[in-house]
Structure 1
Amino acid sequence: MERTTHTLLVGDQATEFATQLGFKEEDLHSDKSRDLYKQWKQKNCQPNYWKNVVPDPKQSCGPYKPKPFPPNRNKQELSEDSYKGIGSDNHDTIGMVVVDSKGNVAGGTSTNGLNHKIPGRVGDSPIAGAGSYVDNDVGGAAATGDGDVMMRFLPSFHAVMMMKSGASPTIAAGDAIKSIIRFYPDFVGAVLAVNIEGAHGAACHGIEKFPYSIRSTDYSDVTVLEVPCM
């Protein structure tokens, strides 16, 4: 079977290539986003996601300095790291896995992330194995949810390796979620998996149900499916 070679461009290379394709660099700020930022600053930068710093990030905009880190932390303390305010109004992630007619697999994850992220933060989306992962001989997976937690477990990679061992996409996605909630019982997120045969499945935790869209020869158009969460 013919395989396709892909090249990843980052930084200035990506900008130059996009310019060659006719895309123009532009400021994506809007009047709305600027107003939201001003209001946030006026409220002492609340909410924000700084932890283990001084001054108190719940009352101050900083600048912050690290404070001594507790030597021992139990599972309950770890679970408190998860941000419980995730909702449809402040979070936006798109994950996609595609298997073409030649059997090539591609995947990607794009996210707007949560509002008021820490400057310089790198989320799970660009991390191979966390936001998404594919193997041309197996299939692919994509994940969404608490990115700071998912980066520690690489759920997309986990799901693909489970499928490589013979698990169905549904079982693989579920096992990836279970590996997270063992340590983070308050985790909110989901994993979608697809194998090279076109079988698909998903698993989720922390919400009632998780919808995902599928288009294949089994459906005449894009179909939205839902799975109940753990």
Structure 2
Amino acid sequence: MFPRSRTPVQDPHCDMHVSTIVFCTLISLGTGSLPIVINTWPFTNATAKAWSVLESGGSRLDAVEEGCSVCEVERCDGSVGYGGSPNEDGETTLDAMIMDGVTHDVGSVGCLKRVKSAISVARKVMEHTTQTLLVGDDATRFAVDMGFHEESLQTDQSRTEWEEWKAKNCQPNYWRDVVPDSAKYCGPYHLPGELSDSKDSSHSLVKGNHDTIGMIVIDNNGDVAGGTSTNGLTYKIPGRVGDSPIAGAGAYVDNDVGGAAATGDGDTMMRFLPTYQIVESMRMGMDPQTAAENVIKRIAKYYPNFEGGVIAVNKTGHFGGACHGLNVTYSVRNQELNAVKVFQAVEV
């Protein structure tokens, strides 16, 4: 067990005590307690694993890596790990990041192919190179050099999903202003004679396709680490890298402040560096819930139809979450909770 570090805050908006499973309309500051593990979505096995690592004396980085690895193995919601979210070619690729709030070192991989343990490869980038982000086949080559096994990430399920998508004329997809008409036909696509000035594609994108795991861990010393892992958008354009492996977009931590993680429409959200903004807002005195809501409002101002959410936690262990267009929940474990609890992010 840990020595107790506690800064309790009563939440008047929650009709349940935090010792029970919690689904609240607003968690303004959470319950301040260290150590703490918080991650996007009800991926409670990942939360519990990270907590057990801390309890057994493991480091904050060990907790992030092993916690996110659980989701890679369990293929949480099909949006993390192998065998999910095939791209236009039917291939599953992975994005992941790990960041140390003490040193600000970061290791990331994007569009990682044929290696399952994306978060662990990202940690090797952080600890064994002076680089930050490796992508594509070269990231795979690096992983193999580091001792990881190369294998197909495709499964029968992902292959069937891709074949059914092809049979439906590749609908939906992420192209616009190309020929043939991407709203009706498969590619390959080419530039038309003239480009329109439309901002958004006229056809719908894939729904329920955003369940990245983003995790923040603060240990009993108040030291912070964070990480992410995802297989990205289903039917994405080959080569696409989302927000998850980008420091300040998918996740961000600062040992003086706390950390934040994001989930949702990464192509839109990464344009605003939301997790960096949350941390900076907390540095200037905002509580985590207000900082989370503030950044979601910034994105929605420009993209009112975007789908996404963020979680935030400060150095005292207070936490919050906000979302827009997507029903985001998040999982928390700290000293004051006797088990992992799932909270509802505030809709903005």
TM range (shorter): 0.7 to 0.9
Question: What one-letter code is carried by the residue in structure 1 that aligns with 2:207?
Answer: I
Provide the rounded CA distance (Å) in 2 between the counterparts of 1:103 and 1:124.
26
* 1:183 shift after superposition: 0.7
Question: Following TM superposition, by how much is the alpha carbon of 1:82 offset from its aligned partner in structure 2, in angstroms?
Answer: 10
Task: Choose from 226, 230, 238 the match for 1:111.
Answer: 230
CA contact (8 A) 1:132 1:142 kept: yes
Shift of 1:61: 1.7
Residue number in structure 2 paired with 1:197? 316
Give the C-alpha shift of residue 37 in structure 1.
1.8
Is 2:168 the counterpart of 1:43?
yes
Secondary structure at 1:215's aligned position in 2?
strand
Aligned mates of 1:82, 1:180 — CA distance in 2: 21
Show CA shifts across 1:156-189 (max 9, x none).
Answer: 1110110011110001111110110111111211
Pairing partner for 1:212 from 325, 330, 339: 330
Separation in structure 2 between the aligned mates of residue 164 and residue 83 of structure 1, nearest angstrom: 38
Give the AA of the match of 2:242.
G
Which of 133, 150, 168 aligns to 2:252? It is 133
Q: Is the 8 A contact 2:173 2:205 kept in 1?
A: no
Give me the whole-angstrom Cα distance separating, in 1, the residues matched to 2:227 and 2:213. 8
Secondary structure of the residue aligned to 1:106 is: strand
- Does the 8 Å CA contact 1:52/1:69 hold for their aligned counterparts? yes
Give me the TM-score of the superposition, normalised by structure 1.
0.85
Contact 1:82 1:186 in 2 (8 A): no
Q: What are structure 2's unaligned runs of at least 5 residues?
A: 1-101, 108-124, 126-133
Q: What is the number of residues matched between the two proteins?
A: 217
Aligned: 1:86 with 2:203: no
In the TM superposition, what is the alpha-carbon distance from 1:196 to its structure 2 partner? 1.3
Aligned to 2:149: 24
Runs of 4+ in structure 1 deviating by more than 6 angstroms, as ranges, are none
Q: Does 1:54 align with 2:179?
A: yes
Picking from 307, 314, 319, the partner of 1:188 is 307
Aligned to 1:168: 287
Question: What's the secondary structure of 1:66's corresponding residue?
Answer: coil
Whole-Å separation in 1 of the counterparts to 2:150 and 2:158 = 18
- The answer as to whether partners of 1:82 and 1:146 remain within 8 angstroms in 2 is no
Counterpart of 1:156 in structure 2 is 275
Higher alpha-carbon deviation: 167-176 or 50-59 = 50-59
Shift of 1:6: 4.2
CA-based RMSD of the aligned residues comes to 2.3
Amino acid at match of 2:145: E
Q: CA deviation at 1:14?
A: 3.6
Aligned pair in 2 of structure 1 residues 83, 43: CA closer, same or farther (>3 Å)? closer
Q: Which has the higher contact order (CA 8 A, sep 6+)?
A: 2
Measure, in 2, the Cα distance between the counterparts of 1:60 and 1:164: 49
8 Å CA contact 2:296, 2:309 repeated in 1: yes
- Distance in 2, matches of 1:91 and 1:7, equals 23
Q: Which amino acid aligns with 2:332?
A: I
- Of 144, 148, 154, which residue of structure 2 is paired with 1:15? 144
Task: Give the match for residue 343 of structure 2.
Answer: 225
State the distance in 2 between where 1:187 and 1:130 align.
15
Quote how far apart the aligned CAs of 1:132 are: 0.7
Q: Which residue of 1 aligns with 2:189?
A: 64
Q: What TM-score results when the alignment is normalised by the length of structure 2? A: 0.58
1: CA distance, partners of 2:235 / 2:335:
41
